[in-house]
Amino acid sequence: MIEVKTKYTLEMHKEFLSFLFFRGEYYRYKRRSFTWLGILLIVLWGILYFSMSFSLLPCILLAVGIFVLLWAHLIPAVLSRQNVKEASSIMQTGLNIVFGEKDISISSEADTISGTSKLRYNALYKVYETKKDFYIFVTPVVAFLVSKMDFLRGAPDEFRALLQLKIGERIVICK
């Protein structure tokens, strides 16, 4: 049995939203690629704007460059702040998650959500492991965040082994 008491922080949630936007094994590299693409488009805008007479192409490059940079950096930050305000009681009390042999027990003492729920391992959509966290997806967009620092019983290595046993190929270790 593995037990976790996890409290969500704003930083943890920002990292999760960034992961959600650029999901996959190499999500950090995808975000960097978007950053450089946005910068490149803005530089191209500057070159074209000052070297040719008025054209629609530089304006399009600037708009796309700004959109790409906002998508990669600002949108996850704004959304995470908004979500944190909405879920402040859960963030303060956290979630108790127990990973047993047959199922997962999730309990909370928050004002808005209190009680215990059970979830079978075969109901998990996918689990991603990053350097700091596990993202346990129950649908393609809904996940429980489990920090590797929050284990009360068990360790991240034991947890990974349990998940590999229970869900097999649906666990992805991210670089």
Q: What is the pLDDT of residues 141-171, one digit of tens each?
A: 788 889 999 999 999 999 999 999 999 888 8
How high is the pLDDT of residue 175? 65
Fold of domain 2-7+91-173: PH-domain like (2.30.29)
How high is the pLDDT of residue 53? 67
Cβ atoms of 152 and 97 closer than 8 Å? no
How high is the pLDDT of residue 6? 83
Residue 42 confidence (pLDDT) above 70 = yes
C-alpha separations of 153 from 1, 83, 93, 103, 158 in Å? 7, 29, 19, 16, 10
pLDDT in tens, 86-127: 555 555 667 889 999 899 998 877 666 667 889 899 999 999
41-69 average pLDDT score: 78
> What sections of the chain are H helices per DSSP?
10-21, 27-51, 56-69, 75-86, 88-93, 156-167
Shortest CA distance to 18 belongs to which of 98, 64, 99, 78? 78
Q: How far, in Å, CA of 172 to CA of 175, rounded? A: 10
How high is the pLDDT of residue 127? 92
Residue 18, judged by CB atoms within 10 A of its CB (0-12, 13-18, 19+), counts as buried
How high is the pLDDT of residue 86? 57
3-class secondary structure, 162: helix
3-class secondary structure, 152: strand
pLDDT band at 77 (very low <50, low <70, confident <90, very high): low
Q: Where are the domains of the chain?
A: 2-7+91-173, 14-86
